[in-house]
Amino acid sequence: MGRRVMRALCALVLILGAGEALAQGQGRVTPLTPTARLLLLAPPPVQPIYCCKVCSKGKACGDSCISRSRSCHVGPGCACDG
């Protein structure tokens, strides 16, 4: 047999094998939960170009650091968690 015929035959066998596996339930993809779908749509968190302050004991909040037990009510700034 020629090379092209062998390649076509191999491709056909692979395609049929994959179809058989899917028909038997192997390789089934689980649908995403609504929360997972929303996370895919959300933009990634904004990272500052540079850190004006690195927070090692607390957490970053705007341009400064606060205690890890407190909630931050300031928008993104230049402070980074470290």
Q: What is the pLDDT of residues 62-76, one digit of tens each?
A: 999 999 999 999 988
Please tell me whether residues 23 and 53 are part of one structural domain. Answer: no
> How many structural domains compose the chain?
2
Q: What is the pLDDT of residues 5-41, one digit of tens each?
A: 666 665 655 665 555 555 555 566 778 888 888 777 8
Instruction: Classify residue 55: in a domain, yes or no.
Output: yes
Task: State pTM to two decimals.
Answer: 0.42
Instruction: Classify residue 5: in a domain, yes or no.
Output: yes
DSSP assigned state of 60: E
Amino acid at 8: A
Instruction: Classify residue 58: in a domain, yes or no.
Output: yes
pLDDT band at residue 59 under the 50/70/90 scheme: very high
Instruction: Classify residue 40: in a domain, yes or no.
Output: no
DSSP assigned state of 24: T
pLDDT band at residue 46 under the 50/70/90 scheme: low
Instruction: Classify residue 43: in a domain, yes or no.
Output: no
Host domain of residue 21: 1-27
Give the C-alpha separation, 47 to 63, whole Å: 13
